[in-house]
Amino acid sequence: LNVTEEKFVLDTLAGCIEYKSLFDVVVNAFFARDGRYCLISERNLYIVICYLATFQLEELGLQHFSRIVKSLDTAKMQKFLRFFFNALYLNTWIKDEWSQFYDSLYVKENWIDPLLRWQPKVQQLIEQLTDKLSNRTTTVKTSTVTQPKEFNLTVPRPRAIPIPLLIPVLEKRPPVPPSTYKPPKEKKQLEEIKTKNRRKAEVSIRSLTCVCNGDTFFLNSLLVQGAFLAGREVVPSLPQYLEVVWELIDNIPIKLNAAAILREGALYQRKMEQELKRIENLLQGAGDPSEFLEWQKQMRGKDLEEQLAEIECRRLQGKLSHEEAVLAHQNVIQENKKKADLMREEKAELMNQYAEKRLQEQKEMRELVEQVVEGHKNAKQAKIKLQKYKQQIVQEVCEENRELLRQALEEEEEKLRKRYELIQQIRAIESLPSIRHKFVDLTETGGHGLICEMSIVELRERLALLREAQKAAEEEKRDQIIHEKQAKEQLLLDKLEQISLFRAELGRAAALKQEEKKRKSQSGERPMKDERILSLQKKIVEKTMERKKQAGLL
């Protein structure tokens, strides 16, 4: 840059930094209102334009200012200048915000008044930018298309028309047999057999359900064990069912792992010890606890019935409270409607008062703007003094920068000189000859003065002895594991034999217990309902009718 351009750039940079607080007010408001879709990276561009319009417009002149603006993006400059040179904004909030940093009289005379004087001419520039935007046409460069040329090839001679060959006549094929499109008889027979088996199974399940008398667990256990999958006929008699089921259970192979075998063996062992202890107590004269256990079972059944009745009461009470809550909610809705009508009337009255107050404030503001416009004065002399002051600051800053650059260059040269000397010393050391070969004696120690120090030969011998000892230990451990595994397998076989015996006995006992349970269930009576449940059900019906009536009124 030449001297004039460099001075202009430095003045602009210094002014933007000095008055950054003023320009931030305008640019932030522009991004919040008209420049919501502008890039934040273009912030410095708007700050520079704002500085030139506020402080350099009279020195540059409108022609130079227009050249700078037109060299930039037309749409962005048109939008920013229209926002910044708005007379209402300059006289109201821009002046108030700038007065927070500087004296209000100084702001009005030196900055706001010149901007308002230039506003008509800048408005013409804004109109030119608007016309340019409306009449802008995009010119697309059309590249010349390559025109292909035909090759100058020799024209081939016309070929002779070949004699057509005779088309051979195919022999007539036999027709496709009709059995191809019909399903085979075997498939139909399989479907019939499947249907018959399904019906037979349904009949068997119904009969078994009647025998089990609603005992779902017993029925499911029979089905899972495969009483019907074997194709046996079931007679409606419980002992015959059990014989079929237990015969199938004995024939089904069940694979158990070691943990399951030990766990089940321990369970049967505990049961056997308890039974032996009970028999021993009976032999010593102790009483039979069967009567107490029967009484305890009856008491637990009564407690269970009471708990079920209590749960039913709680459920009905919850349902009753739900109905009452619905009624209360409907009453609250009616009250809220009345309150909403009153609030709408109050809101309309407040809006009328606010409109009257707003009109009065606008009238006062209009009078204030007229007073402010009348009191503008010229600030040419103050601006010239400010410019001289800026030039003096720039000169001082340039001198300081030159001095700092000179000192930095001297320090860098000193560092380079020291680094060069160090490199020369390292190269001299590296150029000296050195002994690269060293003879090693494997029978000698390192000579470090340690108690556990040994040579490499001794170390190898000790490692060989350690490997032999480790190998012997591994062989001993392997033999021990084999013996333990054989003992464990024998234990599992003994446990399996014991489990099979216990299972057979427990199966017979369960069949007898199921017969007894069936006889008791057939002789049992259905308990009567609780009076509290009946009264709660009656209240729920009344509340439901009342809620439906209230909903119809709403």
Could you report the per-residue pLDDT of 150-174, keeping only the tens digit for each?
888 888 888 878 888 888 887 888 8
Q: In degrees to the nearest 10, what's the CA dihedral of 282, 285, 289, 295?
A: 150
According to DSSP, residue 158 is labeled P
C-alpha 17/C-alpha 44 separation (Å) is 11
The number of helix segments (H) and strand segments (E) in the chain equals 17, 0
496 pLDDT band (50/70/90 cuts)?
Answer: confident
Dihedral of alpha carbons 545, 547, 548, 554, sign = positive
466 pLDDT band (50/70/90 cuts)?
Answer: very high
When pLDDT is averaged across residues 423-447 and rounded to a whole number, the result is: 75
Does the pLDDT at position 64 exceed 70?
yes
Residue with tokens 């089921």: 245
Question: Six-digit token pair at 495?
Answer: 């446990």
Exposure string of 95-132, with b = 16+ CB inside 10 Å and e = fewer, is bebbeeeeeeeebbbbbbbbbbebeeebeebbeebeee
C-alpha 25/C-alpha 54 separation (Å) is 14
C-alpha 97/C-alpha 99 separation (Å) is 5
Cβ atoms < 10 Å from Cβ of 491 = 14
C-alpha 363/C-alpha 359 separation (Å) is 6
Say if CB 50 and CB 23 are below 8 A apart: yes
Residue 10: HSE in the Cβ half-sphere, 13 Å Cα cutoff: 17
Where do the H-state alpha helices sit in 104-163?
104-107, 113-134
Question: Cα-atom radius of gyration of the chain, to the nearest Å?
Answer: 54
Nearest residue to 101 (alpha-carbon basis) of 19, 16, 14, 12: 19
C-alpha 379/C-alpha 377 separation (Å) is 7
Q: In degrees to the nearest 10, what's the CA dihedral of 37, 39, 40, 43?
A: -110
Q: In degrees to the nearest 10, what's the CA dihedral of 7, 12, 14, 15?
A: 140
Q: pLDDT tens across 100-131, in order?
A: 888 888 888 888 888 888 888 888 888 888 88
**Sequential DSSP letters for 288-312:** PTHHHHHHHHHHHHHHHHHHHHHHH
C-alpha 332/C-alpha 354 separation (Å) is 32
Question: Six-digit token pair at 367?
Answer: 């009078």
pLDDT, the chain, mean: 80
Nearest residue to 114 (alpha-carbon basis) of 348, 365, 376: 376
Say if CB 438 and CB 451 are below 8 A apart: no
Say if CB 379 and CB 102 are below 8 A apart: no
Q: What is the pLDDT at residue 235?
A: 39
Say if CB 24 and CB 40 are below 8 A apart: no
Say if CB 231 and CB 243 are below 8 A apart: no
Say if CB 261 and CB 496 are below 8 A apart: yes
Say if CB 265 and CB 499 are below 8 A apart: yes
Does the pLDDT at position 261 exceed 50?
yes
Q: What is the pLDDT at residue 239?
A: 45
145-148, long-range: CB within 8 Å, 24+ apart, which pairs? none
Q: What is the pTM of this model?
A: 0.29
Q: pLDDT tens across 269-328, in order?
A: 888 888 888 888 878 876 667 777 888 888 888 888 888 888 888 888 888 888 888 888
C-alpha 373/C-alpha 189 separation (Å) is 110
Say if CB 60 and CB 86 are below 8 A apart: no
**Residue 312 φ/ψ region, left for φ over 0, alpha for ψ in the -120 to 50 degree band, beta for the rest:** alpha
Where do the H-state alpha helices sit in 215-289?
216-225, 238-251, 258-283
Say if CB 277 and CB 258 are below 8 A apart: no
Q: What is the largest CA-CA distance in the chain?
A: 131
Does the pLDDT at position 463 exceed 90?
yes
